[in-house]
Amino acid sequence: MPRRTWIGLLCFWPGLAQIWTGQEVLGLLLASLFAATLNLAMIARWIWIEAFPPGWVNFLALSAVLAWGAGFCYTVWWVWLCHPERHRREIERLFQESLEAYLQGRWNESRKRVERILAMDDTDADALMQLGSIHVRTRRHDLARRAFRQCLEQEGGAKWKWEVERELARLDRS
C-alpha cells in the first residue's frame, strides 16, 4: 500500500498523520487540542455533570467535533494537494536540471533548483546530498555539514552514508 494511502487512513485521529510525516509540532498541537476538547466534553457530560453550566456541555462537544473536523480536513488537503508524491515529476525534472548545472559549474543555479526541491519535499536525501556537494564547492563548509547531516537523518540517506561520512571527515580536516 502506498505511503500516501497510509497517511490518508491516519487522518481519522487528528495529528497522527502529521506526526507520521515529520510535522511533529503541528501533529502534537492538533492531537492535544482534540484530546483536550474530547476529554472535557466526556467529563462534562458523564462524570462531573454539575461542575459545568448547562450550555458548556454542548459547547465542549461541539469544540471536540470542530477540532476533529479541522484536523481531518487539513490532513486530507495536505495528502491530496501538498504531499511530495504529487510533485514527484517536478522534483525529478528539477533534480536533473540541478545536476546539469552542477556539472557545468553553475553552482548558484544548481543550488536554487535543489532548494526548490527541498521546499516541496524536505526529506529528499538525494537533494540534501546534492546541496551539501554544492556548498562544498562554494566553500560554505558549515552549510555543507548541515546538509550532509540532514541527509543522513532521512530514510533514503543510508545509501549516501559512505560518501557523507567521507565528506564530513574531509571538512573536519580543513
Q: Which CATH class is domain 87-173?
A: mainly alpha
Residue pointed to by grid coordinates 556548498: 135
Mean pLDDT of the chain: 89
pLDDT tens-place string over residues 127-161: 999 999 999 999 999 999 999 999 999 988 999 99
Q: Where in the chain is the domain with CATH 1.25.40.10?
A: 87-173
The answer to whether residues 7 and 21 touch, using CB atoms and an 8 Å cutoff, is: yes
Rounded CA-CA distance 167/24 in Å is: 30
**pLDDT value at 102 more than 90:** yes
- In the prediction, which pLDDT does 2 show? 66
Q: Which residue has the cell 474530547?
A: 38
Which DSSP string do the residues of 41-81 spell out, in sequence order? HHIIIII-GGGS-HHHHHHHHHHHHHHHHHHHHHHHHIIII
Q: What are phi and psi of 58, to 5 degrees?
A: -70, -40
